[in-house]
Structure 1
Amino acid sequence: MKLLPTAIAGVFVAETKAFQDSRGAFARLFCESELAQAVEARRIEQINHSRTAAVGAIRGLHFQQAPHAEMKMVRCLRGRVWDVALDLRKGSPTFLQWHAQELSAANALMLVIPEGCAHGFQVIEPDSELLYLHTASYTPSAEGGVRFDDPVLNLPWPLPVTDVSERDKKHPLLHQNFQGIAV
């Protein structure tokens, strides 16, 4: 497992090398010591799995407010997605900048998204499945979101948008006075 930094502090891409032979393949999905630079003293508190059927569907952009802010580690187990981390951290030098990474079962990459960054993705292949490792439990009262089509962000989703949940459509647009979230 190799940890690659991105232009956004705390956002990493973890490369995983699968071992393949005549039986199939084996890959390490999480290793505390190899991810120590990113994970530091945090611990995994929750693991989630999602399956999204429709190509072009978008989930997100989601985050949790402090004191329930969470780091997410996101990996695609099946299919292919365009995964986005958006920096919402108050005072961050990369505030409102984003990093996008194609995640797929084939490339075995994992996006590491720190507290204060929103996360979302668009499905590129049908029936894509993601595995999420979280450093905090889901807390509905701490939930936040940013609209996927916010003109301030102008995210270049790779495909036409085909499906978005009612909840995600109702996330607020960023306003001129938005200063970010405290982590």
Structure 2
Amino acid sequence: MRVEKLDVEGAFAFSPPVYRDERGLFTSPFREDVFAGAVRDRLFPVRDVSHNVSARGVLRGVHYTAAPPGRAKYVYCPHGRVLDFLVDLRAGSPTFGRYHAGELGGDDGRALYVPVGVGHAFLALEDASVVVYLMSEGYVPGREHAVDCLDPALGLPLPDGVTPVRSPRDLAAPALEEAAERGLLPDYTACREAEDRLWP
């Protein structure tokens, strides 16, 4: 499995081998030994496993969880294809405002580790694209926040000719500067401390 350290501090991509034959394919998006060599000695305690299914053109995010407690995520796309984004929203982070963009798809098994406080978004490039999330905390609505994915200050590289389909929540999300002014962005130190508590 190939491991790539991303431009967003603390984030990693994992690209496993894919075995194909006339029946289809087999791959393993998560391997504990590989994760331990790159990030920590094991995956965080998984307290929530979720997935969504999106039509082509659906844009979800940029979503993040207030810290503490925050939520670390391990994300992959077992069916379809998405253009995935990680955005460093942690105030005080050495990579604050920086993003990573890359495709995830059912034919490659690529997965991402998303640290506490880093925002996540994706654009579905195919119908019935599935994104799976392994998360360190359960879903609590009051802790969930969003930043406008189309904020020019983020500069996320969306493909030309796509009119994104977005939820009312995402359409109403504040721009990065407004979220910062309202004190909504997670603090880098608090995020690191919350992450450290996941691996006692």
Query: What TM-score, normalized by structure 1, do the two folds share?
Result: 0.90
Partner of 1:13: 13
Partner of 1:167: 169
Gaps of 5+ in 2: 192-200
Are the structure 2 counterparts of residues 146 and 126 from structure 1 closer, same or farther at C-alpha, using a change threshold of 3 Å?
Answer: same
The question of whether the paired residues in 1 share the 8 Å contact of 2:63 and 2:121 is answered with yes
Taking the aligned partners of 2:40 and 2:82, their CA distance within structure 1 comes to 23
1:31 Cα deviation (Å)?
A: 2.1
Query: What TM-score, normalized by structure 2, do the two folds share?
Result: 0.83
The question of whether the paired residues in 2 share the 8 Å contact of 1:101 and 1:111 is answered with no
1:177 Cα deviation (Å)?
A: 8.3
Partner of 1:66: 67
Aligned pair 1:157/2:158, yes or no? yes
Taking the aligned partners of 2:40 and 2:120, their CA distance within structure 1 comes to 17
- Give, as a single letter, the amino acid of the residue that structure 2 aligns with 1:136: E
The question of whether the paired residues in 2 share the 8 Å contact of 1:80 and 1:103 is answered with yes
Taking the aligned partners of 2:6 and 2:155, their CA distance within structure 1 comes to 20
Farther off after superposition, 93-102 or 155-164: 155-164
Partner of 2:186: 181
Question: What RMSD in Å do the two structures reach over aligned CA positions?
Answer: 1.9
Taking the aligned partners of 2:71 and 2:179, their CA distance within structure 1 comes to 24
Taking the aligned partners of 2:149 and 2:138, their CA distance within structure 1 comes to 24
Taking the aligned partners of 1:143 and 1:22, their CA distance within structure 2 comes to 43
Structure 2 residue matching 1:60: 3-state secondary structure: strand
Instruction: Tell me how many residue pairs correspond in the alignment.
Output: 182
Q: Report 1:1-183 matches (<5 A).
A: 1-36=1-36, 37-40=38-41, 42-53=44-55, 55-159=56-160, 160-175=162-177, 178=180, 180-182=185-187, 183=191
Deviating 4+ runs (over 3 angstroms): 20-24
Structure 1 residue matching 2:69: 3-state secondary structure: coil
Q: What is the percent sequence identity of the aligned residues?
A: 34
Farther off after superposition, 112-121 or 154-163: 154-163
- Give, as a single letter, the amino acid of the residue that structure 1 aligns with 2:107: A
The question of whether the paired residues in 2 share the 8 Å contact of 1:47 and 1:131 is answered with yes
